[in-house]
Amino acid sequence: MSTDKPTFYYVDAHAGSGKTYSAHKYIASAGGFFTIATQTNDLSKQQAEDLLAEFGVKARVIRLENGVSKTCTERYVRHCKDLRGRTAIINYKVALQELQAARNQNLIVDEFTPPNEKIELQEDISATRAFIGNLIKAVPCEFPGVLEVIDTDDTAEIAESGKSKKNSLKEHVVRLCARIHSPHYRVFVKETNYVDFRSGLPDAEGVSDDEDESKKKLSLYAWLQPSILKHNRSVTFMGANRHHSKLFLYWKDKVNWIEHPEIKGERYDDFSHKAPLIDWRHMSEDLVSWSHLSKNIGYENFKESVAEVIASEYPNEEYLVTLSAKDDGTWACPNGKVVSANPMGLNAFQDKYLAVHLAPLIPSRMDVFMWNAIAGVSEAELVIAQYCEMLYQFFTRTAVRDGERYSKSKNQKRLVFIGLDRPTIDVLREIFGVEKQSELLVVPALNGYVKPPRKTRSDKKPDDAKRAAKSARQAERRAEKRAAKAAAEMRL
């Protein structure tokens, strides 16, 4: 892996400010070959249509199609080698690969894509736990409390042949091995998580501790390195809130960042033209977690309660709503349009003035630890990055980006943005430049919950009793295993 810092361009401007239009204008006037990397296939199609209509530039959209045997990567490589079309539009996952054929391409990535990927291996079966335990090997690295996963003959074989040869491995295991094998990724695991997982592997007698859930899950973090884009002629990332983006937080010392001299936001520099029209509302004064909503309230019950309140307070108003990624995605009210919890690239809802965000975004304790240990990012910085990545993107899908400016003399329709809790909304208010305080939206299911009293010391089982019970269970399982083995030998 190269230690030389690459130089990348950036365009930092708010959603709807005209970054994409400016990029298209630049492509039309500049010489050379260009590749635009988008978040969705629909956005790729839209950009191709805009390039042709606005500047007469024909762009080739490369995406998965029925009846086409070659992969998007194979078709993009052929496009680069042929040097026929000046402009290609592809999915960002295709662009973020080491492709020597792209050496003539000026790459423009639409949005600041997250640089890390979390792969969780939940292994409730002792046999699969043993397989993963033998496959994943980790060693100490420069980050305290963190181990780096190393490439072995087994991970290399799966990475190189996992997609070309028949096998029964799940796709995420093959993808993990590809990350481990790549020189452009570093894969880490929290040391205690790795040690706990391995301590739950079956012992010499084939007995494992199936009672301890913490020993069945392994969480691995794959971190993309900027060297993966070294073959492109130039690289530009476009997005909003660059300093708060996860990409910049991790790559800030790994890349020489230069503001693009020509591509910029052309319509507005901030949301001051809309801020007086925005009303923020929250459902709780304190932070709301997924654990609280799912275990104490019941997420279905919570959704139904919110839908009823919205229908009562905003009758006949069509709106956007986003739900937890762990939910089934259903919504009771027909006026609510459910959109993805990761809404980057959705541009079809600029007629909506009401938006409701119901996805808790509090990072896990392990996420906080890993970001701090590996990237030096504090919990507060990570939380704000989450908000910019998800909440900001969601609320800017609405009429807030339509370009119409606030005027005291006009009777303009107000925007209403609703989130889970006040601390979250206060961060968003600052980003949007809204001075007006958020108002409470009373949701019966959420506000009717009474927290049960905490257990006292006398209620808890002593540690000695816990260890004794655990040892007894393990001894019992060993005895059962030996008895079953002896019975089988006798039958033979």
pLDDT digits (tens, 9 = 90+) for 394-415: 999 999 987 677 767 677 899 9
Q: How confident is the model at residue 206 (pLDDT cuts 50, 70, 90)?
A: very low
pLDDT of 203 above 60: no
What is the model's pLDDT at position 169?
A: 87
Q: How confident is the model at residue 342 (pLDDT cuts 50, 70, 90)?
A: confident
Overall average pLDDT of the 215-229 stretch: 94
Overall average pLDDT of the 77-84 stretch: 89
Nearest-angstrom CA–CA distance, 323 and 196: 33
Nearest-angstrom CA–CA distance, 398 and 347: 8
What is the model's pLDDT at position 257?
A: 97
| Burial class, 336, CB count within 10 angstroms (exposed 0-12 / middle 13-18 / buried 19+) | buried
Q: Which two tokens stand for residue 339?
A: 């959109």
CB atoms within 10 A of CB 203: 11
Q: How much is the pTM?
A: 0.85
Overall average pLDDT of the 267-295 stretch: 92
- In three-state secondary structure terms, 216 is coil
Q: Spell out a b/e string for 239-254, using b for 16 or more CB atoms within 10 Å of the CB, else e.
A: bbbbebbbbbbbbeee
CA angle 333, 334, 337 (to 5 degrees): 95
**What ranges in 320-359 are assigned the alpha helix state H?**
none
Could you tell me which residues come within 8 angstroms of residue 210 by beta carbon, excluding any fewer than 6 positions away?
Answer: 124, 126, 216
Q: Which two tokens stand for residue 275?
A: 């801020």
What is the model's pLDDT at position 242?
A: 95
CA 369, 372, 378, 382 dihedral sign is negative
CB atoms within 10 A of CB 317: 14
What is the model's pLDDT at position 226?
A: 97
Q: How confident is the model at residue 1 (pLDDT cuts 50, 70, 90)?
A: very low
What is the model's pLDDT at position 183?
A: 96
Q: What is the mean pLDDT of the chain?
A: 88
Nearest-angstrom CA–CA distance, 165 and 16: 45
Q: How confident is the model at residue 345 (pLDDT cuts 50, 70, 90)?
A: low
The percent of the chain in helix, strand and coil, each rounded to the nearest 5, is 40, 20, 40
Overall average pLDDT of the 381-386 stretch: 94
Q: How confident is the model at residue 147 (pLDDT cuts 50, 70, 90)?
A: very high
pLDDT of 153 above 80: yes
Nearest-angstrom CA–CA distance, 464 and 396: 55
Overall average pLDDT of the 424-437 stretch: 94
What is the model's pLDDT at position 481?
A: 67
Q: Which has the higher per-residue pLDDT, 460 or 159?
A: 159
For 85-89, 367-371, 482-486, which range has the lowest pLDDT when averaged over its residues?
Answer: 482-486
Pairing of strands 319-322, 336-339: parallel
Q: How far is CA 287 from the centre of its chain?
A: 20
Asked whether the beta carbons of 95 and 111 are under 8 A apart, the reply is no
Q: How confident is the model at residue 300 (pLDDT cuts 50, 70, 90)?
A: very high
What is the model's pLDDT at position 205?
A: 47
Overall average pLDDT of the 150-157 stretch: 96
pLDDT of 307 above 50: yes
